[in-house]
Amino acid sequence: MEKHQDIKRLLIKIYGEEKGNPAFIKINSLIEKFPVKKERKNGYFSQDDVVLITYGDTLNKKREKPLVTLHEFANGYLKGAFSHIHFLPFYPFSSDDGFSVIDFFSVNPELGSWGDIESTGTDFKLMFDLVLNHISAKSKWFEYYLEEEESFKELAIEVDPSTDMSMVTRPRSLPLLTEVKKQSGEIAHVWTTFSADQIDLNFKSIDVLEKMVEALLYYVRQGATIIRLDAIAYLWKEIGTTCIHLNRTHDVVKLFRLILDKAAPYVMILTETNVPHDENISYFGDGRNEAQMVYNFTLPPLLFYSFVKEDASALSAWAKGLALKSDSNTFFNFTASHDGIGVRPLEGILPAEEINKLVKTVKNNGGRVSYKTNPDGSESPYELNITYIDAFLNKKYKPDIYHAQRFLASQAIAYSIPGVPATYIHSLLGSRNWEEGVIQTKRVRTINREKLQIDNVLLQLKNPETFRSRIFFPYIEMIKVRKKQPAFNPNAAFKIIDVGPKIFAIARYSKNQTIYALINISPMHVSCSLKEDGLPSMFKDLLTGERFAADSLRLNPYQYVWLAVTSV
């Protein structure tokens, strides 16, 4: 009953009495119809939580639906490593590789069916995207808006094109408004944050809110235990403001959290906000009233920078701030995704000249750079478009004998710091830049979205000399070892240790275990010491079984170790 009243109060806060009360009637009706399946047990997070990020059609096989192919591969190769599979948008779409959704309630028939999703859910927990900022211009919903049907009249955000929009934060160098023609002949200019094909939804309309809450609960019915709120930072618009991270946006996240706490308390919210760290963690709210997890967007570019610089100082200084006040929150630690490597999260951490070094490295390694428009009309780097694998290529070595080991060392850091780790399937498979795809689509993000033939992948995995094999099997083994260690619980205590700029070092603590993770980020042999009062004299590497003396640790180029206490 308490959550029931909290939902009502929040709706009235967002919409006022006149609209808030009917909004509550609509939303409460959806909640009352929802069958609560189970309560949350023993906290939200465990060291067993590891997420695979993938498109539904990354792996393909002739005469077989891609979702079936992926499930078969996951059962054969990923069990015991990954607990969750994050299916990137698998709905019918018109552009942006799934993020311009035509129908929120259907599975793209080219990928498979809801039955295929449900089948995967019998072996892995599931994570879905709720693409709630916008909808496809080719959707039925937008068609109904153009026809001015009653519950769709306020679907889009109409703006007079003479309005001063200079304060609006822009993630793209594209027009903010798109001209459309309604069936009546009326011309309107609608808000399109990302592209003309992606019509921003008007959350000031309670009809829009009702439709998106319905989608949220539908995904839970279909087995989702984590809901990713895509592009959430831009949700609420108020002309004369930046239109990013507005209070009403946070209120909508709080509303979704309350709804799930009442209808499905075992389901978590994950917010996707590619922004600087302090802005990003604002979506934790007070620790218990917004997202349980936020994407750790600073990690991918700062980790990349550390290996380019061969200096972990900036990374170590930043990582000291990863402690959270509530055990109901944690970070979603990823290094690669379907998008590129975001640059904005480095604001306030690295000066522009250091960021430009990353831009230069990416271009030298065959990648591209996407730019955003600033309020003053200038442009600055927004995203580095390259596979995370090839970002870690160092062309001064010919051949680069350290390429695979350097990349794996970066992943060992991501799997050592506090949070739930997540791996993009192309990182796991050691995929290189897909130049052909960029040529085909003329979109730079395609470089990191190759469609693979499963037979070719399996053939390469069976050959221990291939690059895929040299990435995949050590990576899987590292994950399996990690899952057994209580000190790697996402909320376990930690301490960043200073053993010199060439090594990233962190201690993780649980009630019955302490692990010292040390990762050499350089191509040199590096020595260090963990000898302090109260520490043991010997450690055992959980990954290899090798023993190390605390006062004379010597790491090979790009070696990574997880050291636990040993009595021998």
Q: Any idea what the Cα angle at residue 88 is, between residues 86 and 93, rounded to 5°?
A: 155
Distance CA 437, CA 232 (A): 28
Exposure b/e, 131-157, CB count within 10 A at least 16 = b: bbbbbbbebebbeebbeeeeebebbbb
pLDDT of residue 173: 76
Q: What is the pTM of this model?
A: 0.96
pLDDT of residue 40: 66
Any bridge partners for residue 561, and if so which?
A: 518
Looking at beta carbons, which pairs linking 538-542 to residues 24 or more positions away fall under 8 Å? Answer: 538/565, 538/566, 538/567, 538/568, 539/563, 539/564, 539/565, 539/566, 540/564, 540/565, 540/566, 540/568, 542/481, 542/485, 542/515
Q: Where are the beta strands (DSSP E) in 56-170?
A: 59-60, 84-87, 125-130, 134-136
pLDDT of residue 398: 84
CA distances from 22 to 10, 18, 29 (A): 13, 8, 11
Q: Tokens 């609420």 label which residue? A: 236
Report yes or no on 531 lying in a domain.
Answer: yes
Give the residue numbers annotated as catalytic, written as ranges.
230
Instruction: Examine residue 399 and say whether the peptide bond preceding it is cis (omega within 30 degrees of 0).
Output: yes
Report yes or no on 209 lying in a domain.
Answer: no
- Judge contact between 250 and 271, C-beta under 8 A: no
- Judge contact between 392 and 308, C-beta under 8 A: no
Tell me which DSSP letter residue 537 carries. S
Distance CA 97, CA 443 (A): 10
Distance CA 183, CA 190 (A): 15
Report yes or no on 533 lying in a domain.
Answer: yes
Q: Token pair of 360, please?
A: 């230069």
| Residue 29, number of CB atoms within 10 A of its CB | 10
Distance CA 244, CA 170 (A): 9
| Residue 523, number of CB atoms within 10 A of its CB | 20
Report yes or no on 310 lying in a domain.
Answer: no
Report yes or no on 538 lying in a domain.
Answer: yes
Report yes or no on 288 lying in a domain.
Answer: no
**pLDDT one digit per residue (tens) for the chain, 568 residues:** 677 899 999 999 999 999 999 999 999 999 999 887 666 667 789 999 999 999 999 999 999 999 999 999 999 999 999 999 999 999 999 999 999 999 999 999 999 999 999 999 999 999 999 999 999 999 999 999 999 999 999 999 999 999 999 999 888 778 999 999 999 999 999 999 999 999 999 999 999 999 999 999 999 999 999 999 999 999 999 999 999 999 999 999 999 999 999 999 999 999 999 899 999 999 999 999 999 999 999 999 999 999 999 999 999 999 999 999 899 999 999 999 999 999 999 999 999 999 999 999 999 999 999 987 776 777 788 899 999 999 999 988 889 999 999 999 999 999 999 999 999 999 999 999 999 999 999 999 999 999 999 999 999 999 999 999 999 999 999 999 999 999 999 999 999 999 999 999 999 999 989 999 999 999 999 999 987 756 778 899 999 999 999 888 999 999 999 999 865 4
Q: Token pair of 267, please?
A: 């389901």
Distance CA 21, CA 336 (A): 43
- Judge contact between 495 and 515, C-beta under 8 A: no
Distance CA 537, CA 566 (A): 9
Q: Tokens 């939303």 label which residue? A: 27
Q: Token pair of 162, please?
A: 């003479």
Q: Tokens 């509303």 label which residue? A: 255
| Residue 80, number of CB atoms within 10 A of its CB | 10
Residue numbers of the domain that contains 498: 493-565
pLDDT of residue 520: 98
Report yes or no on 540 lying in a domain.
Answer: yes
pLDDT of residue 568: 44
Q: Token pair of 436, please?
A: 């052909």
Please report, for the domain that includes residue 509, its CATH number.
2.60.40.1180
Q: What is the DSSP string of 128-161?
A: EEE--SEEETTSHHHHHHHTT-GGGTTSB-B--T
Pairing verdict, β 526-528 and 553-555: antiparallel
Distance CA 375, CA 377 (A): 5
- Judge contact between 372 and 379, C-beta under 8 A: yes
Work out how many domains the chain is built from and give that number.
1
Any bridge partners for residue 553, and if so which?
A: 528
Q: Where are the beta strands (DSSP E) in 265-350?
A: 268-271, 293-295, 330-334, 341-342
Q: Tokens 């390469």 label which residue? A: 460
- The rounded radius of gyration (Å) of the Cα atoms in the chain is 24
- Judge contact between 402 and 560, C-beta under 8 A: no
Q: Tokens 């399109």 label which residue? A: 192
In Å, how far from its chain's centre is CA 299? Answer: 11
Report yes or no on 429 lying in a domain.
Answer: no
- Judge contact between 236 and 249, C-beta under 8 A: yes
Q: Token pair of 296, please?
A: 């750790």
